Structure 1
Amino acid sequence: MAYPQPARTPLLALAARLRTSACDTATGRYDLVHYRQWNKPARHGAAVREVVRWRGDDRSGGQLATQHPTGVVPVTHDWWRPGDLYNVGPITPFTRTDMLRVDLGINKPSPADPTEVLANLAYLATWYSPRRDGRAAAFTVLAGLSPLTYYPGVVDRSGRPGIAVAATSGGRRALLVLRPDTGEVLAYESARLGPIGWRAQTYLLYLAHSHATRRWWQPAARPRSATPSPPLVPAAATALAADNAHALSHHDDPRSHSMTATAPTQRYQFRNSPHQLHPLQEMLDPVTLDDLTRLGVNPGHTALDVGAGAGSIAQHLCELVGRSGKVIAVDIDTSMLNPTEVLDVYQRDLRTQPLPVEPGTIDIATARCVLEHLPNRHLLLHQMINALRPGGHLVLGEIVYAPVSAHAPVDSDNELITRVVHTILDVLAGRGVDLHWGDKVPSVLLANGFEQVHTHWVAETWAGGSAGCRLYADNVTQLRDRLLAEDLSHDELDRFAELMADPAVLVRGYQFASTTARKPH
């Protein structure tokens, strides 16, 4: 048979072998993953990160991470109590084909990009140790993807022999290396085509995938401080007291850089996955980039991106500040952020940990779709304000409540779309998300003496299959259990997903409020 060859037949054969194999010997409810990651950005050299991570089905987890260069924090110990780890779901997607297809990016009306699918599978492998049935399900899904190429004999960077599945699209190549007997992921490489051939940009080497009956480690519980934090400004304290009382009841030690063992119950309501972040970027980046262009970010500036997600705004800020500047990106899940000479990446749970910046050191600070989800939103905004230099700018964006309307060929579908989207908003509000926060931001900034406060609201119709409707569909997937508890049925949610992929459907999208303001000199 030709070498290489189409991947469909070998993948189906591997899946069939795994379903009857006894290749899994480790047991336990906790997934253990150990991987090493090399990144080589086009301009800023290489970065290396090594992570040992465990996660439980109760959304608890921990990790030890080391990274180089040391322009970022070189060693971090992170711990998530049960319920806190929201960037991965409580149920592994490898147990449900529908969830797996969503997480791999195959649930789209247009053909899936095979390089994106392999990248998504590599990302899942940094969090999960799927059992043989789950691996078999993944390979069966991949077998239906075209075009994929199979290589029967390859070696990863550690010298381990394996088989490989590769895809090429738009000058990008993705390569996934697998153990031929167990189907476990050994390595992943993403490369770009340049003037002298393919050049690797990211390489992931999976050193261990296993399971355990006990947590790998956890810190001793530590009581939280009961010291009250100061109000934003004395004049605004009374007006904000009702909305801010629970947020200002505890004080974060600004010297602490480790995650506390106790965290508030309220958290960001969606997983930090590509299927959530990429549609948001596609829809909202043009708005944020226009704001940054209008404000004028210059070479040599220092920028702060709070809740950096997949890093599109952080990357744009890096381009604006240049090699003489600095960008600080902060998120609870930094797995999609690659540190460089310009970009420093900090993993922080901002409900319990302070921003990793000194007062008066930031020229521009951004936060998008973050503060409304956090119970301490006023305290976090206070930290951002303190971090700004006199004359520095804020760019704050949030989804805000607005009525929903839909236009589908069948009236009953219009009613269903409206009911599902309104229920999504009701569920979020019931979980502590302030869907009016974006409307309140201008008043809060004016009360703190900010100048040139400007807010503009953006809302438009989304057609089925667009980024916005993909976001709606992903929201339903992630909130499915809660939506079912609100008297929506499985059939109704499945129908909603179909409508979000139908180009004949138009629906009013989420309304986005973007506010810019300048700190007085």
Structure 2
Amino acid sequence: MTATPSTSVRRVLAAAATVVLAAAVTAADTADPDLFYRGSHPLLRLADRIPPDPGPYGSVVFHHVRRWSVTTTGRPAERPDLTVAVAVDQRRWAAPDGSGRIISRHTTPDERLAAAHLSYRSSDAEFTTTTTTTTVEDLPAGALGGGCTVPWPCPGVSEPARPSLDEAYPARTVDEFTFLHLHFDLPSADRAAALRVLAATGGLTYQVGVVDRLGRPGLGVVLEVPPIRHRLILHPGSGHLLAAEQQLTGPHPHLTGVGPPAVVEYVLLVGQGRRGLVGQPDEPRPSGPGVRAICAPAPTTADTGAADLPPARPPRRASARGPGP
């Protein structure tokens, strides 16, 4: 399969290694003190430092994702037009032929909107209550797309995967970057290419020492598109996406009873990588405050899947150079 990136993307990738973009970097400590330095663009620096992929790899792509959304019950409904927060924990295995399995755990809609708070934290217990609804879908070949179904080169098939640069609508580039990480296990070269395109998006600001809803530290990439503040949280060593957040900065055109600084959409990548078989269980991972980034023990003969994301060192004590996130 071949695909040709657009002229704008080629131009960006050619210039990304030498052009320093005018973007503000929050002056604070980071999990890796050598990751950022004066005069360097943080995303380009991260792209240059991504280590080679470990091996061996299994053939099944695995994603463990949690998503929280603020929405309304709509009409008709027992309680119409009620603003609630809904959450789902989903594990997805996709084989090369597009077959696979999806296990979804849905929580009861929450009128208190607890998940809309900036300080909200997640745990496994949230999705194992007596009111949790679980569904298991075993899907035939082709149901999960199999090969590449997105409008850019397939990861690991032709040229490196990369989101498209949309200069008129920068939030679209942020969304495509998120989509890549939610649907593919990106090799290190593809992650680096995607970071370089993201770096060319206008209006980005950066935060260091931020944490996701599992307490994992990362680099925050922020884009303001009123009334939404988009924030990506990236693993500071591997460049993997840890979380994507949408926070209100003004009145929402369709939601009532909720306003700034509520988080109306949050996607958390709990785990991702390769597995030897569809349905193979998650790798063990630590949990609780100060948790290290997604990690797993070395593969054994019973599990040829590669280890998940490498551990990230916890952030050092904040310096006097500036505030945290």
For the aligned pair, the TM-score class normalised by the smaller chain equals 0.5 to 0.7
Letter in 1 for 2:86: A
Higher relative contact order (CA 8 A, sep 6+): 2
Partner of 2:137: 78
Partner of 2:67: 37
Q: Which deviations, in whole Å up to 9, do the C-alpha atoms of 1:94-125 show, x marking residues without a partner?
A: 34787845xx453x6xx242223222322332
TM-score (norm 1): 0.36
Q: Which deviations, in whole Å up to 9, do the C-alpha atoms of 1:334-360 show, x marking residues without a partner?
A: xxxxxxxxxxxxxxxxxxxxxxxxxxx
- Partners of 2:65 and 2:238 in 1: how far apart? 18
Q: Which deviations, in whole Å up to 9, do the C-alpha atoms of 1:352-401 show, x marking residues without a partner?
A: xxxxxxxxxxxxxxxxxxxxxxxxxxxxxxxxxxxxxxxxxxxxxxxxxx
Letter in 2 for 1:154: V
Partner of 1:161: 217
Match of 1:135 among 176, 188, 191: 191
- Partners of 1:89 and 1:7 in 2: how far apart? 37
**Secondary structure of the corresponding residue to residue 182 of structure 1:** coil
**Secondary structure of the corresponding residue to residue 222 of structure 2:** strand
Partner of 1:47: 86
Summarize the Cα distance change of 1:147–1:95 in structure 2 as closer, same or farther, 3 Å threshold.
Answer: farther
TM-score (norm 2): 0.56
Summarize the Cα distance change of 1:152–1:132 in structure 2 as closer, same or farther, 3 Å threshold.
Answer: same
Letter in 1 for 2:93: W
Letter in 2 for 1:79: D
- Partners of 1:143 and 1:2 in 2: how far apart? 12
> Structure 1: 5+ residue runs without aligned partners?
218-521
Runs of 4+ with >3 A deviation? 5-8, 22-26, 70-73, 90-101
Letter in 2 for 1:163: L
- Partners of 2:185 and 2:39 in 1: how far apart? 23
- What is the CA distance between 1:46 and its match in structure 2? 0.4
Summarize the Cα distance change of 1:191–1:116 in structure 2 as closer, same or farther, 3 Å threshold.
Answer: farther
Summarize the Cα distance change of 1:82–1:2 in structure 2 as closer, same or farther, 3 Å threshold.
Answer: closer
Summarize the Cα distance change of 1:66–1:8 in structure 2 as closer, same or farther, 3 Å threshold.
Answer: farther
**Greater helix share, 1 or 2?**
1
Q: Answer with 178-187 or 56-65: which moved more.
A: 56-65
> Structure 2: 5+ residue runs without aligned partners?
1-22, 28-37, 73-81, 111-130, 252-258, 281-325
- Partners of 1:213 and 1:55 in 2: how far apart? 11
Match of 2:42 among 10, 14, 30: 10
Summarize the Cα distance change of 1:75–1:192 in structure 2 as closer, same or farther, 3 Å threshold.
Answer: same
The number of residue pairs the alignment matches comes to 211
- Partners of 1:156 and 1:7 in 2: how far apart? 27
- What is the CA distance between 1:192 and its match in structure 2? 2.1
**Secondary structure of the corresponding residue to residue 197 of structure 1:** coil
Summarize the Cα distance change of 1:8–1:123 in structure 2 as closer, same or farther, 3 Å threshold.
Answer: farther
1:213 aligns with 2:245: no
Partner of 1:24: 54
- What is the CA distance between 1:13 and its match in structure 2? 1.1
- What is the CA distance between 1:155 and its match in structure 2? 0.8
- What is the CA distance between 1:90 and its match in structure 2? 6.7
Partner of 1:361: none
8 Å CA contact 1:59–1:89 kept in 2: the answer is no
**Secondary structure of the corresponding residue to residue 41 of structure 1:** strand
**Secondary structure of the corresponding residue to residue 190 of structure 2:** helix
- Partners of 1:112 and 1:26 in 2: how far apart? 41
Q: Which deviations, in whole Å up to 9, do the C-alpha atoms of 1:137-181 show, x marking residues without a partner?
A: 110111222122121221111111111111111322111111111
Q: How large is the RMSD of aligned CA atoms in angstroms? A: 3.4
- Partners of 2:55 and 2:279 in 1: how far apart? 18
Partner of 1:453: none
Summarize the Cα distance change of 1:138–1:96 in structure 2 as closer, same or farther, 3 Å threshold.
Answer: farther
8 Å CA contact 2:86–2:109 kept in 1: the answer is no
Summarize the Cα distance change of 1:13–1:70 in structure 2 as closer, same or farther, 3 Å threshold.
Answer: closer
Summarize the Cα distance change of 1:11–1:58 in structure 2 as closer, same or farther, 3 Å threshold.
Answer: same
Partner of 1:60: 99
- After TM superposition, list the pairs within 5 Å mapping 1:112-131 onto structure 2: 112-131=168-187
8 Å CA contact 2:177–2:198 kept in 1: the answer is no
8 Å CA contact 1:156–1:187 kept in 2: the answer is yes
Q: Which deviations, in whole Å up to 9, do the C-alpha atoms of 1:306-343 show, x marking residues without a partner?
A: xxxxxxxxxxxxxxxxxxxxxxxxxxxxxxxxxxxxxx
- Partners of 2:39 and 2:173 in 1: how far apart? 14
**Secondary structure of the corresponding residue to residue 32 of structure 1:** strand
- Bigger radius of gyration: 1
